[in-house]
Every structure is written in structure tokens, then in C-alpha cells.
């Protein structure tokens, strides 16, 4: 018996396919935090992607931390993101600003009138 049988060749091919799928799966899993960050318009997307590759070489030791980091958005960016995404809130905000400007103008006119009387 000097050669391999058909069964042995097919098992070798099956092992190669399994290894390729596992490697692809591990690489796809490491990219989950980066895709979460991209979807949420996170301000540190590039850093999360880079840390994901570092995590891949560290056997995913820091991967849970990356997931938490990708899910966290600082309050300032979160507010800006919400204001940009919701037109009704944006219109309400503009209306409130206009009302406040009108109130300030009215108060300024009253103050000018009081000052001109010399009180």
C-alpha cells in the first residue's frame, strides 16, 4: 500500500474545508464590535477596528471590552446623533430657539425703555 485511498483524500479535503471555515469564522467574529461601532456612528470606529485586529492576535482576550466600547457612545455624541436622526425633535428645537430669541428681544426692548427714562 503505497498510495492513499479515495476515503483518505476526501477526509483530507473535508479537514481543509473545516479549517478554512473556522479561520473565516474567527475573523468574522472579531469584526463584530467594529460593525456595531460603524452602525452606531461611534466617534472611535477606527480605534475599535484596530483594537479588534490586535484582539485577534491576542486570542480575543480584549474582545468583550471592545464590544462594550463599541456600544458606548459619549453623551455629547449621543445627543447630536439623536438630534440629527429625528426631524420632529429638530423642528421642535428650532421652534424653541426662535421663541427664546423673541423673549430675549422683548426683554431687551423693555430694558432699553427703562434705561432711556433714566430710572
Each residue's pLDDT expressed in tens, for the chain with a length of 119 residues: 568 899 999 999 999 999 999 999 998 998 999 999 999 889 899 999 999 999 988 888 999 999 999 999 876 655 555 545 567 777 888 899 999 999 999 999 999 998 888 76
Dist. CA 91–CA 62, nearest whole Å: 42
| pLDDT for residue 11 | 96
| pLDDT for residue 90 | 79
| pLDDT for residue 76 | 63
- In this structure, are residues 72 and 61 in contact, taking their beta carbons and an 8 Å threshold? no
pTM: 0.54
| pLDDT for residue 110 | 92
Q: What is the 3-state secondary structure (H, E, C) of the chain?
A: CCCCCHHHHHHHHHHHHHHHHHHHHHHHHHCHHHHHHHHCCCCCHHHHHHHHHHHHHCCCCCHHHHHHHHHCCCHHHHHHHHHHHCHHHHHHHHHHHHHHHHHHHHHHHHHHHHHHHCC
| Contacts of 80-83 spanning 24+ positions with Cβ under 8 A | 81/40, 81/41
| pLDDT for residue 56 | 85
Dist. CA 101–CA 81, nearest whole Å: 25
Amino acid at each position: 500500500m503505497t498510495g492513499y485511498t479515495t476515503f483518505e483524500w476526501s477526509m483530507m479535503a473535508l479537514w481543509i474545508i473545516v479549517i478554512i471555515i473556522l479561520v473565516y469564522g474567527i475573523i468574522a467574529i472579531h469584526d463584530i464590535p467594529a460593525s456595531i461601532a460603524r452602525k452606531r456612528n461611534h466617534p472611535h470606529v477606527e480605534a475599535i477596528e484596530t483594537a479588534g485586529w490586535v484582539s485577534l492576535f491576542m486570542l480575543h482576550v480584549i474582545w468583550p471590552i471592545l464590544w462594550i466600547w463599541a456600544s458606548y457612545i459619549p453623551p455629547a455624541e449621543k445627543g447630536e446623533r439623536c438630534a440629527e436622526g429625528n426631524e420632529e425633535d429638530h423642528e421642535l428645537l428650532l421652534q424653541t430657539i426662535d421663541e427664546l430669541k423673541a423673549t430675549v428681544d422683548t426683554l431687551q426692548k423693555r430694558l432699553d425703555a427703562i434705561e432711556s427714562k433714566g430710572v
